[in-house]
């Protein structure tokens, strides 16, 4: 784990603990939950588990990995990122053809890998589109064709349905100059 991650855990973990200490009262009951709470998650799990596709998780994951390595690597250009956005969309579409061989619910690593891939694919699509739309260089988001770092921060918002992007919003906020 990187130093930033460890620092985040310490700083935000402590802040979270203090918030809990200051806002929760011992013995206070939990709010009632909806009768159908969790049904959507179980339906999503079963959808993947019983899918009649033809592609195993490893095949789709490898395609996603290759696309990200080839088109969204450390050294990026407009050309590779535009191509990468097209490619990652094609790879994300293949998730519709996923096949989980093990239909059981005990130690089902095949299902766990498929669920992990769904999350990774969502992140890969977001990363590719955000990198393509960012017209600057900053840290790990280096662009060979944009050497300038602007004095504002980009934020990308994505709206998904089944890994497919429905809409994106890119906005920015100006940074204060020290």
What CATH code is carried by the domain that includes residue 53? 1.20.58.100
In a domain, 144, yes or no: yes
In a domain, 24, yes or no: no
In a domain, 25, yes or no: no
CA 93 to the chain's CA centroid: 16
- 40 or 176, greater pLDDT: 40
Q: Which domain holds residue 102?
A: 36-174
In a domain, 10, yes or no: no
In a domain, 40, yes or no: yes
pLDDT tens digits, residue range 6-53?
777 888 889 999 999 999 988 888 889 999 999 999 999 999 999 999
How far is 145 from 124, CA to CA, in rounded Å?
22
In a domain, 3, yes or no: no
In a domain, 122, yes or no: yes
Question: What count of residues does the chain have?
Answer: 178
pTM here is 0.74
In a domain, 107, yes or no: yes
């Amino acid at each position: 784990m990187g130093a930033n991650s460890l620092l985040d855990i310490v700083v935000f973990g402590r802040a979270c603990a203090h918030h809990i200490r200051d806002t929760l009262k011992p013995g206070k009951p939990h709010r009632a939950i909806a009768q159908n709470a969790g049904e959507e998650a179980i339906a999503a799990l079963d959808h993947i588990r019983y899918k009649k596709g033809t592609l195993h998780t490893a095949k789709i994951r490898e395609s996603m990995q290759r696309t990200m390595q080839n088109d969204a690597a450390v050294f990026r250009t407009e050309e590779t990122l535009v191509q990468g956005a097209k490619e990652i969309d094609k790879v994300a579409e293949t998730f519709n053809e996923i096949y989980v061989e093990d239909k059981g619910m005990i130690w089902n690593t095949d299902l766990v890998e498929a669920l992990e891939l769904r999350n990774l694919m969502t992140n890969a699509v977001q990363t590719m589109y955000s990198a393509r739309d960012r017209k600057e260089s900053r840290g790990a988001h280096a662009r060979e064709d944009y050497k300038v770092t602007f004095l504002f921060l980009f934020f990308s918002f994505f709206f998904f349905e089944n890994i497919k992007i429905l809409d994106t919003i890119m906005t920015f906020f100006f940074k204060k100059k020290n």
